[in-house]
Amino acid sequence: MARDRRQVMEATLLAATFSGLPSTLYALVRARSLAAGAVYVYDATRAVGTLVPPGRPGFRRGALAHLVISLLCGEMLARTLPRANSVRWGAAAGFVGGVINVGVLGRGFPAIKRLPLIPQLADNVMFGTVFALVLDQLDRRHAEARIGNA
């Protein structure tokens, strides 16, 4: 059964919003400074900008690239996640996606390679987990509304 497009978009945007929490918290704890956490988020976003031609770090390019990557990942998850145990599968898919994107492909980009790997993988796990949680909740509400209207 196809997923509702609005629900997929909502789940994707929420997952994209919260997916950076693990690495941001890591930076905050490690540096013990709010300013250092903000610098980390800025630098990580700029690093993603190297994926977009001309390959230089850039905050706007990085934010746009992150959004596009998130939309693609959300679409992939919407099409492949089973409805049963979807949160576990979402977390697993996030981990696998992180290994491929950050651990393998990202190693070819120096700005991305400089980012700590484990927190970046945790961000990807967070994306998959949040996406699945939100989509589960929206699916449940949608089903309850249909039953209530029947």
- Number of helices and strands in the chain (H, E): 7, 0
State the number of CA atoms in the 13 A half-sphere of 72 facing the CB.
Answer: 8
Query: Is this prediction's pTM over 0.85?
Result: yes
Q: pLDDT tens across 117-147, in order?
A: 999 999 999 999 999 999 999 988 877 777 7
Respond yes or no on whether the N-terminal peptide bond of residue 54 is cis (omega within 30° of 0).
Answer: yes
Q: Please give the torsion angle defined by the CA atoms of residues 54, 21, 138 and 2, in that order, rounded to the nearest 10 degrees.
A: 40
> What does the pLDDT read at residue 1?
59
- Mean pLDDT confidence for 78-97: 95
Kindly report, residue by residue over 53-67, the tens digit of the pLDDT: 888 999 999 999 999
**For residue 72, pLDDT beyond 90:** yes
Mean pLDDT of 29-34: 87
Q: Grade residue 50 by pLDDT with cuts at 50, 70 and 90.
A: very high
